[in-house]
Structure 1
Amino acid sequence: MSDSVKSVRHSEVEVNGVRLHLAEQGEGPLVLLLHGFPESWYSWRHQFGPLAEAGYRVVAPDQRGYARSAQPAAVDAYTLLHLVGDVTALIGALGAESAVLVGHDWGAPVAWTTAALRPDLVRGVAGLSVPPLPVGGPPPLDTLRESFGEGFYQVYFQEPGRADAELAADVRSSLRRILSGRQPDGVPRPWVIPAGGTLLDTIPEPERLPDWLTEEALDAFVADYAGHGERAFTGGLNWYRNLNRNAELLAPFTGLTVEVPALYVAGEQDLVHAMLPPGALPYLLGRLPRLRDHVRLPETGHWTQQERPAEVNAALLDFLAHLDG
């Protein structure tokens, strides 16, 4: 384990009735790092040291349902409004008046939405991989079915218990496959499960781990998920099971833009881009009237801050420096 990760402090805090595990390093203005699926605080291992050394208090929670944090039983306890509520409560619980939010994968929609709904608490926001998707609008699952079919992974996740059991049967194998998964030709394609197949049929066991993912890192992720047993991935999957509910709950905010300073960073081989209609990205980035930079990372897939830590850290530090003058 690197010295940077060894110096991370661990604690727990209860927000909105849910116990969250926190990893923290440094002192100064608060920066919250919000992970995605299927990850944990450890996905930010390369960011703690550089951001803390630059004078920031860096806190990465395991978000509700994930890793070492508590897992509410009800599916509808994982809406975007619950997740935004966790972030806003966490800022207060940490004794801060505001924070800079950095989100990757599912953490990005949480960061974007928090910034849109509570700009009084957010000094700046950075999204990795996932751009600022529209708030509200039509039920997204209908559109996903029309575009990619019933086998599209976000549709496949909707049946309670199915993906949960497949992924939890061998946590290490599931994480190794998902984190290593990448098209051999580097062309991102949507994750679609063939009829009659299972979730992992489309992601073979890798012959070796990618250069950015060590056995030690895989050990850390597996250990984080071990405490939930057969429900190891259920909390994270429940986020997907609220896609249509999110659109309903956020309908009053349809068309809302993100009015705080913003940064967007994404790999050019990220599968998220394969899910966007042609020409959609410029439209989505238009929701960021104070977008400082759009950083494109060549030969980079979905796991942005783990695959290209030096470039991501440089972009974040530049963004933070301009926020702080």
Structure 2
Amino acid sequence: MEVKARGLVFDVHESGPADGEPVLLLHGFPQDHREFDLILPRLHAAGLRTYAMDQRGYSPGARPADVAAYTMTSVTADAVAVLDSLGIEKAHVVGHDWGAQVGWQLAGRHPGRVRTLTAISVPHPRALLLALRVRPSQQARLAYFGVFRNRRAEKLLLAQHALALRLMLRPIGMRAEQYVAAMREPGRLTGGLNWYRAFTAEQISGLGVINVPTTYVWSDKDGVVGLTAALRTRDWVQGDYQLVAMRGVSHWIPEQAPRELADAVLARIGV
């Protein structure tokens, strides 16, 4: 369905029992709501109502041209406004990659809207900032940020039949093709890259301790986040907390390990 919020129109894919507790699903780059498709049957069988949102830059009706429109403040406000439009006071939040970043912001700055948080791959921002200061290896893991922020990034990622995108998503096999095809839509890839271009450390440096019940799901083959950031996330959660560490899984947890992720989500929600 289309949800109007903040002068934009977001595509939100709702499913599951109509009377189930609401779960807001927030995707990352370069994916969209479909990255959660493999865990949805388990969530629905447990009686949960899911709302998988195509975020700013991905929904056709929510692609502002200005890079400054893609700050963490803006994309977090989008999620709050979508909940408002849906009439949902509090939701369980599940986010991967940039969606996890939005999840941390929601839990930290709008805790009254979040029942539980399951953050996938991306740790608490303050833990990541610490790891960047003390671990050169973590700096190297995030070197791709500079490439994605470059004004030529669209051409680089789509060159040679989108070879770079396909290599990024290689661990999920043929499922990558749906995202590669979608990124050829006018403005979609630029919208996704604008999250990187608009990002500054100041946007997350003020985020404090999380008090809502939280699970952080990390995988040891993640090329983006190292062990230090994963372990130090515990320092920034005062609510009930669990770290779920997966072995032999890459950054693309929702599609590479959907059963294990669904277990973690359901355990956090408590159903």
Fold-level similarity (TM above 0.5):
yes
SS, match of residue 125 in structure 2: coil
Contact 1:168 1:232 survives alignment (8 Å): no
Distance change (3 Å), C-alpha of 1:310 and 1:163: same
Per-residue deviation, residues 223-258 of structure 1 (Å, max 9, x unmatched): 433432xx34111111111222xx33555x35x111
* Matches for 1:1-325 after TM superposition, within 5 Å: 11-26=1-16, 27=18, 28-66=20-58, 68=60, 70-134=62-126, 147-148=139-140, 152-160=143-151, 162-169=152-159, 172-180=162-170, 210=171, 212-214=172-174, 217-228=175-186, 231-244=187-200, 247-249=201-203, 253-254=206-207, 256-274=208-226, 279-321=228-270
More helix by share: 2
TM-score (norm 1): 0.74
Distance of 1:116 and 1:309 partners within structure 2: 26
Distance change (3 Å), C-alpha of 1:313 and 1:280: closer
What is the percentage of aligned positions where both structures have the same residue? 34
The alignment yields a C-alpha RMSD, in angstroms, of 2.8
Per-residue deviation, residues 248-290 of structure 1 (Å, max 9, x unmatched): 3555x35x1111000011111111234x7xx443322211112
User: Quick one: which amino acid aligns to residue 37 of structure 2?
Assistant: R
Please, which runs of 5 or more residues in structure 1 have no aligned partner? 1-10, 181-209
SS, match of residue 9 in structure 2: strand
- State how many pairs are aligned: 267
Contact 2:126 2:204 survives alignment (8 Å): no
User: Quick one: which amino acid aligns to residue 155 of structure 2?
Assistant: A
User: Quick one: which amino acid aligns to residue 248 of structure 1?
Assistant: E
Distance of 2:225 and 2:70 partners within structure 1: 25
Distance of 2:203 and 2:116 partners within structure 1: 24
Contact 2:158 2:165 survives alignment (8 Å): no
Distance change (3 Å), C-alpha of 1:89 and 1:45: same
User: Quick one: which amino acid aligns to residue 268 of structure 1?
Assistant: D
Contact 2:90 2:115 survives alignment (8 Å): yes
Distance of 2:128 and 2:229 partners within structure 1: 16
Per-residue deviation, residues 173-222 of structure 1 (Å, max 9, x unmatched): 44322101xxxxxxxxxxxxxxxxxxxxxxxxxxxxx4x433xx334324
Distance of 1:168 and 1:178 partners within structure 2: 12
Distance change (3 Å), C-alpha of 1:71 and 1:49: same
Per the TM alignment, residue 15 of structure 1 is displaced from its structure 2 partner at its CA by 1.3
Distance of 2:148 and 2:197 partners within structure 1: 7
SS, match of residue 59 in structure 1: strand
Distance of 2:96 and 2:39 partners within structure 1: 12
User: Quick one: which amino acid aligns to residue 237 of structure 1?
Assistant: L
SS, match of residue 193 in structure 2: helix
User: Quick one: which amino acid aligns to residue 157 of structure 1?
Assistant: F
Contact 1:116 1:258 survives alignment (8 Å): yes
Distance change (3 Å), C-alpha of 1:296 and 1:219: same
For the pair shown, the structure with the greater C-alpha radius of gyration is 1
